[in-house]
Structure 1
Amino acid sequence: MIYIGLTGWGDHDALYADLTHKKDKLYHYGAHFPIVELDASYYAVQPERNIRKWIKETPDNFKFIVKIHQALTGHASVEDFADNREQLINQFKAMLQPLHGSNKLGCLLIQFPPWFDCTTAHINYMMYLINHFKAFPISIEFRHDSWFTDDMKEHTLTFLYEQGVMHSVCDEPQAGHGCIPFVNRITHQDALVRFHGRNAFGWTKKDMTDQEWRDIRYLYDYNEHELQSLAKELQILNKKARNVYVVFNNNSGGHAAGNAKRMCEILNIEYSGLNFKQLKLF
C-alpha cells in the first residue's frame, strides 16, 4: 500500500479553508491523508499527553513518521537537552512507545546532516543508534553523497539491509556533497520516500538564519511531468515493498498539499477510513 502525506500538519493552509478552530488541524488533516511526518520530535521530546492526544485525533490506520531528536544526529549538542546521550535516547524511546503500541508508528526517521560522510566512525555511530532503537521500525536518511558514490552505493544498501532498516529514498536537488541521488531501492519490507523539491539555489544558499533556510530550501512546486515520473518510481517500489510511506516536504510555498493530492490522483488512490471532514457552518 502507498501512504501519501506531508511533513507536519500545521503549515498547510490549503487544507484548512473551512476550519474554525486551529486546535483541530490534526483531526482535519486526518480527513485528507493517512500519514504525516512528525517534526516536533526533532526539536524536543514530546510529552506523553501530546502523543496520546495525537493518537486519539487520527484514524485507526493512520501512521506517523517520527523524526529523531536533533541532538542524536549531530545537528545539536546533547548537553543542551539532557545530562547525557543515553538519557536522551531513553526519553525518546519512551515517547515512541504509545505510537508503537497503537500501531501508528510508520517508522523512526534518523536523518543525518550534510557533513555526516561515509567513515568508519559514522558507521559505528549508526550501529549504536540502530541497536538502541531496534525495537522500532527505522529509516535512515543520508545527506552526504559519499554514501552513494559508484563504489559505495551497493555497500551502503547492503549495510542497511543487513541492519534491517529502511533506506530513505529522497528526491532533492543535485547540488554538491550535501545531497544524495535518487536511489529507488528498498532495504526493508517497508519503504520511506521523501520529496524535498528541487530548489538547487535554496539548497546551497549560505549565510541564512534557520528560519530563512527553511523558508527558501523547500520552496518548490513539482510540475506535472515531474509528478508523473515520480509516480512511476513509486509504483516500482510498491511492487516490492509491503508499505510505501511517501511524504512531501516542499512546504515553504504551500505546494506540498497540492502536489500530494495530485500524486494521489495520478496513482488513482482513494483512502478509506479517514476522519470525517469538518464543515464550516457559520
Structure 2
Amino acid sequence: MNILCGSAGWTDKTLIACKRFYPTDCRSAEARLRFYASQFPLVEVDSSYYGMPSASNSALWAERTPGDFTFDIKAFRLLTAHQTVREALPKDIAMAIPETGKKNLYYRDIPAEVLDELWRRYREALEPLRHAGKLGAVLFQFAPWLTCGPEGNAHVEECANRMQGYTVAVEFRNSSWLNDKQASSTLELLRQYRLVHVIMDAPGGVTNRAHTVWEVTNPDLAFVRLHGRNADTWSAAGGAAASARFDYDYSDDELTELSEPIRDISSRVVKTHVIFNNCREDQGQRNARTLMDILGKFNQRHPEC
C-alpha cells in the first residue's frame, strides 16, 4: 500500500505528559524517536517551523530511525511569510538584519543577501535526511494573510525556485487560493512548479481557512493533513498552543469516511502521506493507528488495490 500515516511531531508536551503513547522507559529524545518510528512509517517535523533546523539534528534523526522511515519537514516560519521574532534566527543572521523598531520581522524586511544565506543554510540542514533517503516533503504552510494574487503568487514561485530538487508541499491558509474563482488557477500554478497540493481536513463553518480540494498536482505525491474539526478553537488568538487549537479526536466513523477519498487520491500518485495534526495528548497517534487499520482491512478485502 502506498499510503503512509503519521503524526505532526513526536515530542509535544501533552503527548509526553499523558503517558499513554510512550513506554515508561522512553525518557530521552532518542528513545522516543526510536519508539515512534517502530509504530509509524512517517512523521512531520514541526520544530523546524519555529526555528531553523540543523544538519546535526537531521543526521541524528536519520541515524535513529529505520531505513524506510520518512520525515516531512515544515519550512521555517519566516520563509512562509509568517511573522518571526529576531531571536528565532541564527545570531549572525539576526545581526545582519537592520533594526526595524518592530517586534516581528517579515520576509520583506530581510536584505537579499541575508535571504540568500538563510535559504542556503535551510537547504544544508536537510541534506543528511536527503542523503539517507529519508526526506519526504518540505511543507510550506503559508501565512493566513498571504493571498492569491500577483504578490502571493510571486512568493510561492520564489519558494519553488529556491527549493528546486526537493519535493515541496504547499498548504494555503487563506481562503482566496482555493475558492470557486481561483482554485483552478492555483492548482495550475502548483502543477507548473511540480508543487504538492496539501489537502486539508479542518472545521466546517469557519471562514479563516482554505477550502478542502481533493486534487493532485504532482504525480509522485499526494499529501493530506488532518487538523481536526474543532470550530470553537480554530480561531484561537494570542499564540494559543497547537495542542489546544487542534484539540479533536476523530471518531471511527469519521476516519472510515475519510479513508474513501484518501484511497481514491492515492490511486493517482506514487505515494500518499497522511499527517494527523490534532496534536493534543495522543489523539493524533491513536487516530493514525485507526486509519492504518481501516486502510489495511480494506486492502485485505480488495488485494487488487
Gaps of 5+ in 2: 97-113, 298-305
Q: Is the 8 A contact 2:75 2:138 kept in 1?
A: yes
Alignment partners' CA distance in 2, 1:253 and 1:198 = 16
Alignment partners' CA distance in 2, 1:52 and 1:161 = 31
Match of 1:257 among 263, 281, 285: 285
Q: Is the 8 A contact 1:2 1:243 kept in 2?
A: yes
| Percent of aligned pairs sharing the same letter | 30
For 1:173, the equivalent position in structure 2 comes to 203
When normalised by structure 2's length, the TM-score is: 0.83
Alignment of 1:50-129 (within 5 A): 50-77=57-84, 80=87, 81=89, 82=93, 83=96, 84-129=114-159
Match of 1:188 among 206, 213, 218: 218
The reply on whether 1:138 has 2:139 as its aligned counterpart is: no
Q: Is the 8 A contact 1:107 1:137 kept in 2?
A: yes
Q: Is the 8 A contact 1:39 1:67 kept in 2?
A: yes
Instruction: Give the Å deviation of 1:78.
Output: 7.9
Instruction: Give the Å deviation of 1:115.
Output: 1.2
Q: Is the 8 A contact 1:64 1:105 kept in 2?
A: yes
Deviations 1:197-234 (A, max 9, x none): 0111101133x3x2x34232110011122101111111
Letter of the aligned partner of 1:196 in structure 2? H
For 1:242, the equivalent position in structure 2 comes to 270
Letter of the aligned partner of 1:10 in structure 2? T
Q: Is the 8 A contact 1:146 1:177 kept in 2?
A: no
CA 1:18/1:215 → structure 2, altered by over 3 Å: closer, same or farther? closer
For 2:28, the equivalent position in structure 1 comes to 22
Letter of the aligned partner of 2:266 in structure 1? N
| Secondary structure of the corresponding residue to residue 128 of structure 1 | helix
| Secondary structure of the corresponding residue to residue 146 of structure 1 | coil
Instruction: Give the Å deviation of 1:22.
Output: 2.5
| Secondary structure of the corresponding residue to residue 147 of structure 1 | coil
Q: Is the 8 A contact 2:21 2:282 kept in 1?
A: no
Instruction: Give the Å deviation of 1:252.
Output: 1.7
For 2:230, the equivalent position in structure 1 comes to 199
CA 1:35/1:20 → structure 2, altered by over 3 Å: closer, same or farther? closer
Alignment partners' CA distance in 1, 2:231 and 2:193 = 32
| Secondary structure of the corresponding residue to residue 5 of structure 1 | strand
Q: Is the 8 A contact 1:110 1:139 kept in 2?
A: yes
Structure 1 consecutive aligned stretches of length 4 or more whose deviation exceeds 4 Å: none
When normalised by structure 1's length, the TM-score is: 0.90
